[in-house]
Structure 1
Amino acid sequence: MKLAVQIATSLVLGLAFFGLVLFLPAGTFDYWQAWVFVAVFSVSTFVPSMYLAIRHPDALARRMKAGPTAESRPAQRIIITATFLAGIAVMVISALDWRFGWSAVPVWLVIAGDVLVAAGLLGAQLVVVQNNYAGASITVEEDQPLVSTGLYGVVRHPMYALSLIMMLGTPPALGSLWGLTAVVAAVPVLVARLLDEEKALTDDLAGYAEYTRQVPYRLIPGVW
Structure 2
Amino acid sequence: MPTNQTSTPDQSPQGINRRQLILRLACLPVFFALFMFLPAGTWTWPKGWLFILVLLGIILVGSLILQRVNPEVIVARRRIHKGTKPWDKILLWLYVTTTLAAVPVAALDESRYHWFPVPWWVCGIGYAVLLAGCGIVTWAEGVNKFFEITVRIQTDRGHTVIDKGPYAIIRHPGYVGAIFTAIGVALSLGSLWALIPAGVASIVLIVRTEWEDQTLQDELTGYKEYAQRVRYKQIPGVW
Return closer, same or farther for 1:70/1:37 CA change in 2, 3 Å cut-off.
Answer: farther
Query: Is the aligned partner of 1:37 residue 2:47?
Result: no
Q: Measure how far apart 1:157 and its partner are.
A: 0.6
Return closer, same or farther for 1:71/1:29 CA change in 2, 3 Å cut-off.
Answer: farther
**Which residue of 82, 92, 102 maps to 2:104?**
92
**Which residue of 165, 178, 194 maps to 1:150?**
165
Q: Which has the higher contact order (CA 8 A, sep 6+)?
A: 1
Pick the structure with greater CA Rg: 2
**Which residue of 11, 17, 23 maps to 2:25?**
11
Equivalent residues in 2 for 1:198-209, closer than 5 Å: 198-209=213-224
Q: Give 5+ residue unaligned stretches, structure 1.
A: none
Tell me the distance in 1 between the aligned counterparts of 2:131 and 2:138.
Answer: 11
Task: Write the letter of the residue equivalent to 1:151.
Answer: P
Q: Measure how far apart 1:71 and its partner are.
A: 6.8
Q: Give RMSD over aligned pairs.
A: 1.9
Tell me the distance in 2 between the aligned counterparts of 1:216 and 1:119.
Answer: 23
**Which residue of 112, 115, 131 maps to 1:102?**
115
**Which residue of 124, 137, 140 maps to 2:137?**
124
Query: Is the aligned partner of 1:172 residue 2:199?
Result: no
Partner residue in 1 for 2:202 = 187
Partner residue in 2 for 1:83 = 95
Partner residue in 1 for 2:71 = 57
Give the SS at the match of 1:104: coil
Task: Write the letter of the residue equivalent to 1:203.
Answer: D
Tell me the distance in 2 between the aligned counterparts of 1:27 and 1:2.
Answer: 37
- State the Cα deviation string for residues 180-208 of structure 1 (Å, max 9, x = none): 12222223211222222123212332111
- Identical aligned residues as a percent: 30
Give the SS at the match of 1:64: coil
Return closer, same or farther for 1:51/1:70 CA change in 2, 3 Å cut-off.
Answer: farther
Per the normalisation by structure 2, the TM-score is 0.85
Aligned residues: 222
Query: Are the counterparts in 2 of residues 70 and 137 from structure 1 also a CA contact under 8 Å?
Result: no
Give the SS at the match of 1:186: helix
- State the Cα deviation string for residues 12-52 of structure 1 (Å, max 9, x = none): 11332222221111111111111111221221122221232
